[in-house]
Structure 1
Amino acid sequence: MSDASDLQALLDSQRRAFEEAPFPSLATRRDRLKRLATLTRRHRDEIAAAISTDFGHRAAMETRLTEVATVLQSASFTRRRLRRWMRSERQPVGWRLLPARARVHYQPLGVVGIIAPSNYPWNLAWLPAIDALAAGNRVMIKPSEHSPATSALMSRLAARYFAPEELCVAEGDADLARAFAALPFDHLLFTGSATIGREVARAAATNLTPVTLELGGKTPALVAADADLEKAAERIAFGKWLNAGRTCIAPDHVLVEASRLEAFLKAMQRQITRFYPRGTASHDYSAVPNEAHRQRLEAMLEEARDHGCRVIDLGERLELPDGGVKLPPTLIVDPSDGLTLMQEEIFGPWLPVLGVRDMEAAISRIKSQPRPLALYAFTEDPALRRRLLEETHSGGVVFNDTLWHNAVPALPFGGVGESGSGAYHGEAGFQRFSHARAVFTQSPRSLVGRLNPPYRRWLLRLLGL
C-alpha cells in the first residue's frame, strides 16, 4: 500500500461489493469465519516466528496461548451462535398499539476499519475482524508499523484466504495510519494508547465515522486483608509479566494494606523466581521491542530511583544476540503520585506496589483516578466485592485473578471514560458492528386511526393519555 489514494480505492471496491450483497447469508458469514480460523490454525508456527522476530524474542507457547488460541476460540464460539444472533428480535408494542408488531433487525453496517497495535499484533487485529465479519461487513485492517514481520505475514495470508473486497490488510507507516483513520468507514475500531486514540477520534469525526476505542489506562490490583497472599502474588505476577507487561489489561499497580506490604513483596519475589528461574534469560520471558519504548520505560525507572524509591530488581537487563532486549521484572515500593510511572500507563515490566491504610483508602484512591480498562480485586468478602462493583468504574472486573475475563468470548470487552468507549467480543461485538434497525409493522385492523384529529377527549381518557 503506497498512499491514501490506494486506500480510498480499496475502500471504494469494498463498498461496491457490499452494495451488491448488502446482507450476506448465514452460510457466507460462517464460511468467512471458517477461513479466518483456518488461516490462523494452519500458519500458527509462522505467526509465532513472525511475532518473535518483531519482539526480539517471544516464546512460541506464549504466542500460541495469547494470539492463536484466542482467535480460534472466538471464531468457533461465534460460528456456533451466529444463527441466533442474526434473528430479528420481537419486541412488545404495548396494548394501545395492538395488534401491530415490532422487532429489531440487525443489519450490517458496510465497511469496518480496524487499526491494530503491536503488543498483540495477531489477536487485536483478528478478534474485531471476527465480529465485523459475523455481522456481515467488509473489513480493512491497518496493522502496526512496529510489527513489520507480523504485518507482512498478515497481509500475505489475508490475500490468500480472502478476496480483497471481503477483507484486506493495508501495510504502511504512521502517515498511512493517519490516512486510514481519515477514511469514511461505516465504523472504525482502534486499539492503542489514549494519546493516539484522541488523534484517531478527531480524524474520524470529520466523516462522522462511529468509533470504538480500546485504550488501556492504569489498571489497579487490590489485595484485601482476607486475601491469600501467595495466590494473589501468583495471579498478579502472571498478569503483569505475561508479554513483559505489554498488555493493556495488565495490572499497572498494586494496592495492599500497609501491614501486609512486606509479606506481599516477598511472595511476589518467590513467584517470579518460580515463573522465570533463569531471570530474563528464561526462554518464556519476552523481550520489549522498540528502542523508543524501552527508553521511555528506563527513564521512568531512573526517575523513581532518583526520587529515592525503593526498587527491587528481579533480574537483569539482557541484550540478545539478534538485537532484542529483555527488561527485568521490577517492583517499585510506595512511589509518589507525581512520578511518571504513577501518571502514565506503564505498559512494561515495572510494577509499583503501594501500601494503603485500609480498603476504604484503597477504594477512595481507585475512585479518584481515571477509569481503567480493568480492576482486579483479591478478596472473598461479599460486601467488599459489592462495594467495588457499585462504587467504582472500570471496563471489566475480575475477582481473585487477572486477565482471564478477556478469554471469555461471551463477555463484552471494552473501556469506559479514559480507558475507551464501546465494547466488542461475542454477541456484543456482533451488535457493535451491526445497525439495530427498528421495524414496526402495522395491522390492517389497527385502531390508531381513531387518534387522528379532531381529537376525542373521551378516547384519550380511555387510553390513559
Structure 2
Amino acid sequence: MADDRTNEMNAVLKRQRAAHHQMRPEPMALRRDRIERAIKLLNDNSSDLCTVMAEDFGNRSPHQSMKTDIEGTVNFGKYCLKYIENWAKPDKRSLQFPLSLLGAKAEVRYEPKGVVGILSPWNFPVNLTFGPLMQVFAAGNRAMIKPSEFTEKTSLLMKELVEEFYTADECVVFTGGPEVAQAFSGLAFDHLVFTGSTATGRKVMEAAAANLVPVTLELGGKSPVIMGESADFAKAGEKVAMGKMLNAGQICLAPDYLYVPESRQDEAIHGIWQGTANMYPSLLDNEDYASVVTDKHFDRLKGLIEDAREKGAEVIEINPGDENFSNTNSRKMPLTILRNVTEDMKAMQEEIFGPILPVKTYSRIDDAIDYVNDHDRPLGLYYFGEDSGEREKVLERTISGGVTVNDVIFHVSMDDLPFGGVGPSGMGSYHGVEGFREFSHARSIYTQARVDVAKLGGLKPPYGRKR
C-alpha cells in the first residue's frame, strides 16, 4: 500500500514538472490567477472550513479560526498580489571596471523552481497550508500538499476544494498518516516546506537530503518572554495570557517560559491571572477557548505538570470560574503556571505547545540573556519594558527567529516581515520579499561585451609577455 501511494505521488510530481517545463515562461497573469483562486476558495468556503476545524479539535472557536486561518491567509494572498510584479523584476548588478563601459551587462532573474512540496501541521491547518501556497504560486511554482492526519476532516475538505479549484498539474493534496508523510518528504521536489516539531524537522531534512532537495523548516522551540523592571506587569500579563491561551497554547510561537525580575514575580503572575480572568471568566463551556487536539497530546501536557510538581515546582492553576476539570472529556486545560522550576523538569526541556507556563526569575537582566543564549535558539523572543537601553541590550545579545516587543506572537502576522527560525527553530523563511525569493531560483545572467574580454584580461594563452 505504501509503495502504491509513493508511486501515485511520484506520478503527480512527474506530471507537474512536465507541465512546468512545457509552459515556461508562464505569464504573470497565470500566477495572479492561481493566488486569486486560493483567495476565492477560502472566502467561499470559510464557514465549512471553520466548522471542520472545530470538529477536529473537539472545540475551537469559529471566530478564532476565521481570524487566524481564513482572514489572515486571505489578506496575505492580497499582499502577494500587490507586490508580485515588483518581486519578480530582475535585479541589475554592478560589474568590475571597465566591463560596464565596454557594454557588458549583469542581472539576477528570480525564476520559478518548479514543484514545491508543502508538509503542513494541525495547529493552524488552513493558514499553514495556504499561507506558504500563496508565495509558492507567486513565485510561479506548482504545489503538492500533505496536510496533517490529526485534523483529518479539515485535510479532507482541503483536498476536495483544491480538486475543485485547481487542475492536478497545478496543485494536489494527499491525505494519509505518517507513512504517507514519510514517503512525501522523500520525493524529489524542487523545494520542500515543512512546518512542525524540531524532531520531525530533522527527519524531513534527512529524507530530503537523499535527493538534495532544498528545505524551508518552520519549527518551534522554547520561545522566551523577558519582562524588564520597566514593564507594565498588568498589561504585559494580559498579553502573555492571550498568547498562551490562544488555540490553547498550541502555537509554535506561543510564550514557552517567562523570565521576570525576582522582586516582581508575584506582580507578573497576578497580571497573567487577572488577564486570564478578564478574557475567560469560565473555560469548560466557553466556545472561545480551544480544546487540546488529541488525547495523546492532552496526556503529555498533564504529564509535564505532574513531573514538575513531583520535582518541587509550585503549580498554580488559573481557574477563574472554579470549575471541575476532572469530570470532563472535553480536553480543556486551564492555564497552569509552574513556579520555582528547575532544569531537570520536562517542562523546561521540551517545547510545551499547550497552556502551561513556567516562570523563572533573574536578579540581573544579563542572567536572562545568558540563559537564552545557553539554550537552543528560539523561533520567537518577547521583551516587555520601556527601557530602550535594556531592550536593545536584549535584542543585540540574543539570537531568535523573530521578535515582538511589548507583545507576543504578532511579528508573524506582519505580512512584510520574513517569518522563520534559526538553528533548531528552523531555516529559511516565508512572508515578505524573502518568501518570494525562498521559492525562486536566483539565476545570474551575464552578457559579455563585444570586445575580447578574455584577451584584454590576460586570460588567453600564451601567458606572459609576447616575444
Q: TM-score scaled to structure 1, two decimals?
A: 0.95
Report how far residue 251 of structure 1 moved: 0.4
Which residue of 338, 356, 363 maps to 1:332? 338
- Residue aligning to 2:200: 196
d(CA) in 2 for partners of 1:123, 1:233: 27
Which residue of 404, 413, 420 maps to 1:407? 413
SS across alignment from 1:440: strand
SS across alignment from 1:239: helix
- Matched AA of 1:241: M
Report how far residue 358 of structure 1 moved: 2.0
SS across alignment from 2:260: strand
- Matched AA of 2:222: K
Q: Deviations over 1:189-229 (max 9, x none)?
A: 11101111111111111111111111100000000000111
- Residue aligning to 1:239: 243
Please give the residue correspondences for 1:268-307 in structure 2 after superposition, counting only pairs within 5 Å: 268-307=272-311
- Matched AA of 1:291: D
- Residue aligning to 1:463: none
Alignment of 1:375 onto 2:381: yes
- Residue aligning to 1:94: 96
How has the CA–CA distance of structure 1 residues 324 and 24 changed in structure 2, closer, same or farther, with 3 Å as cutoff? Answer: farther
Which residue of 45, 50, 72 maps to 1:70? 72
Contact persistence 2:142–2:170 (CA under 8 A): yes
Contact persistence 2:239–2:275 (CA under 8 A): no
Report how far residue 455 of structure 1 moved: 4.9
d(CA) in 2 for partners of 1:355, 1:306: 20
Contact persistence 1:30–1:134 (CA under 8 A): yes
d(CA) in 2 for partners of 1:188, 1:238: 32
How has the CA–CA distance of structure 1 residues 320 and 191 changed in structure 2, closer, same or farther, with 3 Å as cutoff? Answer: farther
- Residue aligning to 1:430: 436
Alignment of 1:392 onto 2:394: no
- Matched AA of 1:416: V
Which residue of 125, 150, 154 maps to 1:121? 125
SS across alignment from 1:3: helix
- Matched AA of 1:107: E
- Residue aligning to 2:45: 43
SS across alignment from 2:434: helix
Report how far residue 381 of structure 1 moved: 1.9
Q: Which consecutive unaligned segments of at least 5 residues does structure 1 have?
A: 459-465
- Matched AA of 1:128: P
Report how far residue 378 of structure 1 moved: 0.5
SS across alignment from 2:284: helix
d(CA) in 2 for partners of 1:23, 1:231: 52
My pick for the range that moved more, 311-320 or 133-142, is 311-320
My pick for the range that moved more, 13-22 or 55-64, is 13-22
Please give the residue correspondences for 1:55-204 in structure 2 after superposition, counting only pairs within 5 Å: 55-98=57-100, 99-204=103-208
SS across alignment from 1:330: strand
Report how far residue 393 of structure 1 moved: 0.5
SS across alignment from 2:98: helix
Q: Which consecutive unaligned segments of at least 5 residues does structure 2 have?
A: none
Q: Deviations over 1:375-404 (max 9, x none)?
A: 000022222222222211100011101111
Contact persistence 2:99–2:449 (CA under 8 A): no
Report how far residue 58 of structure 1 moved: 0.3
SS across alignment from 1:436: strand
- Residue aligning to 1:27: 29
Report how far residue 449 of structure 1 moved: 2.8
How has the CA–CA distance of structure 1 residues 346 and 317 changed in structure 2, closer, same or farther, with 3 Å as cutoff? Answer: farther
Contact persistence 2:237–2:270 (CA under 8 A): no
d(CA) in 1 for partners of 2:73, 2:326: 31
d(CA) in 1 for partners of 2:355, 2:309: 16
- Matched AA of 2:432: G
Which residue of 263, 273, 277 maps to 2:267? 263
- Residue aligning to 1:15: 17
- Matched AA of 1:332: L
SS across alignment from 1:178: helix
d(CA) in 1 for partners of 2:186, 2:400: 29
Alignment of 1:345 onto 2:351: yes
Which residue of 434, 447, 450 maps to 1:441? 447
How has the CA–CA distance of structure 1 residues 318 and 125 changed in structure 2, closer, same or farther, with 3 Å as cutoff? Answer: farther
Report how far residue 82 of structure 1 moved: 0.5
d(CA) in 1 for partners of 2:374, 2:5: 44
Q: TM-score scaled to structure 2, two decimals?
A: 0.95
Contact persistence 1:319–1:325 (CA under 8 A): no
SS across alignment from 1:414: coil
d(CA) in 2 for partners of 1:446, 1:71: 53
Alignment of 1:254 onto 2:258: yes
d(CA) in 1 for partners of 2:408, 2:313: 26
d(CA) in 2 for partners of 1:83, 1:193: 34
Which residue of 347, 359, 384 maps to 2:365? 359
d(CA) in 1 for partners of 2:330, 2:426: 31
d(CA) in 2 for partners of 1:426, 1:451: 41
d(CA) in 2 for partners of 1:279, 1:292: 21
d(CA) in 1 for partners of 2:109, 2:433: 14
d(CA) in 2 for partners of 1:258, 1:13: 61
How has the CA–CA distance of structure 1 residues 401 and 457 changed in structure 2, closer, same or farther, with 3 Å as cutoff? Answer: farther
d(CA) in 1 for partners of 2:287, 2:27: 46
My pick for the range that moved more, 336-345 or 92-101, is 92-101
d(CA) in 2 for partners of 1:212, 1:320: 43
Contact persistence 2:283–2:332 (CA under 8 A): no
d(CA) in 2 for partners of 1:93, 1:10: 42
d(CA) in 1 for partners of 2:282, 2:267: 23
Contact persistence 1:131–1:426 (CA under 8 A): no
Q: Deviations over 1:9-41 (max 9, x none)?
A: 111111111111133211000000000000001
Report how far residue 415 of structure 1 moved: 0.3
Alignment of 1:53 onto 2:55: yes
- Residue aligning to 1:461: none
- Residue aligning to 1:6: 8
d(CA) in 2 for partners of 1:397, 1:250: 12
My pick for the range that moved more, 176-185 or 307-316, is 307-316
d(CA) in 1 for partners of 2:202, 2:259: 29
